Chain A
Amino acid sequence: MSKVQVSTSINGEEVDFLCEPQQTLLDVLRETLSRTGTKEGCGTGDCGACSVLVDGRLVCSCLVLGVEAQGHEITTIEGIATDEGLHPIQQKFLEHAALQCGICTPGLIIATKSLLDRDPNPDETTIRYWLAGNLCRCTGYDKIVRAVQDAAKELAHPA
């Protein structure tokens, strides 16, 4: 099976890889590039654990072909913290105990970032519907929603 060469940008870094045409971006990230922060929970777009941003747009990387990454900018969980430290969303997830097992957390943080990038002051209903594609089985979502609310506040008025 012939592989295709793909040039892309992941978290601001130029990355080239070879992949089979039917391989998903998730598969490439995890198995080819060993960037395993992006998780697989279902492989069919139903759980959101594999959420990444493609050109700033929230998608499930299990429903994107690796070859489609050509020329696009991918942001994964590994690209959220900065040289200054954790992103406020990450910090608030920790402070609010918004993770138990933590497998859904990378996807939720990516989805939250995409929400707050668009809507800096979402209400609870908006948060819940925006995050409805990110399944969490441990928390009942209560502390996640509170973490997102607090992160929005923190981003609006950094302490």
Chain B
Amino acid sequence: MGAFGYVAPSSLDEALAVLSEHADHGKRAQVLAGGTDLLVQLRGVDREPRTIVDIKKLAETNRVQIGASEVFIGAAVPSAVLNENAELAALLPGLVEAADLIGSTQIQGRASLGGNLCNASPAGDTIPAMIAVAAVCVIAGRSGTREMPVEDFCTGVGSNALEAGEFLLGLKIKTPAARSADAYLRFIPRTEMDIAVAGCGVSVTLDGSGTCTAARVGIGAVAPRPLLVADAATALVGSRLDEAALAAAGAACSRAASPISDKRGTEDYRRKVVAVLCRRAAAAARDRALAR
């Protein structure tokens, strides 16, 4: 049996060197951001030794930058920091409300979008919201950085597209245009503290007449990985986001879903509820876009 180790690199190069060294020697390294999933796993399902690589001391992973054309959110920025950023909340209300739904206030003090994504739970709350706003993953590796659409990042339950020696640096999102807005809704049995039974993020862009010119819909907790639902977007684009269009988009989400029955909900229930969430989230995004 190996031993546990902990390193907190202060530079990107140092972080990559540690990860590469472990990758090259077949040693286990695990990146720590907020730790709200990792520490639970250490306690229960996966107690095997490893080197924990804490990326919170890196400038890049802590950066939140709102530019004219692009927003960057570092992989280790806690949700609470995002929630407190009024400019970000005004720009990407759906993404920020998703971040605001990850666990309790205490969890939000640590949990990050990057960690939520890398954990690759089918039910990760921020992932459908990130899919809706077409977030792009910025991945650091020894040969430089590469980018990947967020919807391609999760490859299955608990698995992601990172290669050995790589880690997620942050997420890039195009700064929303005028009359664009996003919304995220999830369903849980309580008002707080639960894992999503189903989740749906929607972003829409409207023209001057209120007709939807662009849309993206992401769904979570209804398939082995969060999904981009192109058919739902198609149902919205060209409409004035009336009840019929919203219902069609919801139905598309139900069709795209391939849920399981488990302790949190049945297959049938999830399929129905994801449609309801899509309708409600699209209506919320529409109302926000109209107000801009």
Contact = CB atoms under 8 A, between A and B. Distances in A.
Q: Do chains A and B touch in the complex (CB under 8 A)?
A: yes
Interface of A: 1-2, 4, 20-22, 24, 43-46, 48, 51, 54, 57-60, 62-65, 67-68, 70, 111, 114-115, 129-134
B42 A114 contact: no
A134 B80 CA distance: 17
B35 interface: yes
Interface of B: 3-6, 8, 32, 34-36, 39-40, 42-44, 52, 54, 56, 78, 80, 103-107, 109-110, 191-193
Given A43-B43, A44-B43, A65-B52, A60 B106 contact: yes
A19 B44 CA distance: 20
A108 to B, nearest CB: 11
A122 to B, nearest CB: 12
A130 B105 contact: yes
Nearest to B35: A63
Contact of B106 (A67, A129, A133): A133
Given A21-B5, A44-B40, A133-B106, 12 more contacts: A22-B42, A57-B78, A57-B80, A57-B109, A58-B109, A59-B106, A65-B6, A65-B35, A65-B39, A111-B105, A132-B105, A132-B192
Nearest to A55: B109
B52 A21 contact: yes
B4 A59 contact: no
A116 to B, nearest CB: 13
Contacts of A24: 39
A45 B6 contact: no
Counting chain A CB atoms within 10 Å of each CB, the highest count among B6, B34, B80, B103 belongs to: B6
B192 A129 contact: yes
13 contacts: A20-B4, A44-B43, A46-B193, A58-B80, A58-B109, A59-B109, A60-B110, A65-B52, A67-B6, A68-B35, A131-B105, A132-B193, A133-B104
Contacts of A46: 193
Contacts of B34: 63
Nearest to A66: B6
A45 B52 contact: no
Contacts of B42: 22
A157 B35 CA distance: 39
A20 B39 CA distance: 14
B77 to A, nearest CB: 12
A151 B109 CA distance: 23
Contact of A132 (B54, B78, B104): B104
Contacts of B105: 58, 111, 114-115, 130-133
Nearest to B47: A22
A45 B54 contact: no
Contacts of A22: 4, 42, 52
Contact of A45 (B8, B106, B192): B106
A119 to B, nearest CB: 11
Contacts of B106: 45, 48, 51, 58-60, 63, 111, 133
A108 B156 CA distance: 37
A63 B107 contact: yes
Contact of B54 (A1, A2, A44, A68): A68
A58 B79 CA distance: 12
B6 A2 contact: no
A104 B39 CA distance: 21
A59 B35 CA distance: 11
A4 B51 CA distance: 13
